[in-house]
Amino acid sequence: MRRTLAIVGLVGLVFLAGCGGTAVDDAALNESAEYDWNTTEAVTITVEHSEYRYVYTLDDDSEVRLALRDELLGTQPVSISAVKFRYQNGTVANASALSVEEQNKHTVVTFPESAGQFAYTASSPARSLTVPVVTNRSHEVRLPPDMRISLPVFGGANPSGFESANQGERVVLTWSSIESDRIEVDYYQERDLLLFAGLLGVLVLVAGAGVAYYRSRLRRLQEERIAAGFGVDDER
């Protein structure tokens, strides 16, 4: 009987641990950041070279669950910082107005109201962006200044169906609606193409020099064989 109760208790603890959330670092959540609240899309993502700033206009939402699926690690929570909430009257509050927890491999953010705007900052690798989609409404991605996506292999965006426009130094991608669970963008700077072309040219020169050396060496061996009295056809 005691063993049965112990097992039941252990199962209960495991269940509660799975349902309960883990608090996120308050220092990171309360970091300072500037957000553009004057957006016309449901989600606006402004990308810098090592991070992105995310602004979401709520539509009767009580919470969002942020996670990305990794092929090796599985579902992983998105690490966020500089959390803000903008009330409908224009008042901007910091992380103390929201509840942020890691729960079941998701970062769960609970809002103080079901209307307003929620913003956060997250790290992003150079030349690429991967962001979870929490609504199928419109999205806008603003690339870093002087970055492009128009050349295949070097750049591109998923899902398809977006519009691209130049706004000052930035390329802006817009989706009127999204059915995917993520947005992925690869981008490049035009000087990257020059560097790649230069590297490719060096490789071509090295390869050409190698072929020329091989042919020269082969011709010299043939001449040495002939000089030694061996014909080219002697080995047949």
pLDDT at 209 over 50: yes
Confidence of residue 160 (pLDDT cuts 50, 70, 90): very high
Lowest mean pLDDT among 128-137, 161-170, 194-203, 220-229: 194-203
Q: Please report the pLDDT score of residue 77 as a whole number.
A: 98
Q: Is the model's pLDDT at 16 over the cut of 50?
A: no
Confidence of residue 1 (pLDDT cuts 50, 70, 90): very low
Looking at the predicted structure, is the pLDDT value of residue 208 above 80?
no
Distances (CA, A) of 226 to 172, 219, 220: 69, 11, 10
Give one DSSP letter per residue of the chain, joined into a string. Answer: -HHHHHHHHHHHHHHHHHHS-EEPPHHHHT---------SSSEEEEE-SSEEEEEEE-SS-SEEEEEEEETTTEEEEPP-EEEEEE-TTS-EE-GGGSEEEEETTEEEEE-SSSSSEEEEEEE--TTEEEEE---SS-EEEEPPTTEE--STTT-EEESS--EEEEETTEEEEEES---SSEEEEE-EEHHHHHHHHHHHHHHHHHHHHHHHHHHHHHHHHHHHHHHTT--TTTT-
pTM (two decimals): 0.75
Residue 210 pLDDT: 63
- Compute CA distances 139 → 57, 115, 183, 195, 236, whole Å: 11, 18, 9, 32, 72
Upper half-sphere CA count for residue 152 (Cβ side, 13 Å): 0
pLDDT tens-digit series, residues 63-107: 999 999 998 999 999 999 999 999 999 999 999 999 999 999 999
Instruction: Report how far residue 110's alpha carbon sits from residue 87's, in angstroms, rounded to the nearest whole number.
Output: 14
Of 54-58, 76-80, 106-110, 215-219, the poorest mean pLDDT is in 215-219
The pLDDT of residue 28: 97
CA 188 from chain centre, in angstroms, equals: 14
| Measured distance CA(102)–CA(5) in Å, rounded | 30
Q: How many CB atoms lie within 10 A of CB 90?
A: 8
Whether the predicted pLDDT of 122 surpasses 90: yes
Sheet order of strands, 156-158 included: 128-132, 182-186, 156-158
Q: Is the pLDDT of residue 201 over 70?
A: no
For residue 169, name the pLDDT band (cuts at 50, 70, 90): very high
- pLDDT of amino acid 11: 41
Q: What percent of the chain has pLDDT over 70?
A: 75
Average model confidence (pLDDT) for the chain? 85
Q: What is the pLDDT of residues 170-195, one digit of tens each?
A: 999 999 999 999 999 999 997 655 55
Q: What is the pLDDT of residue 182?
A: 98
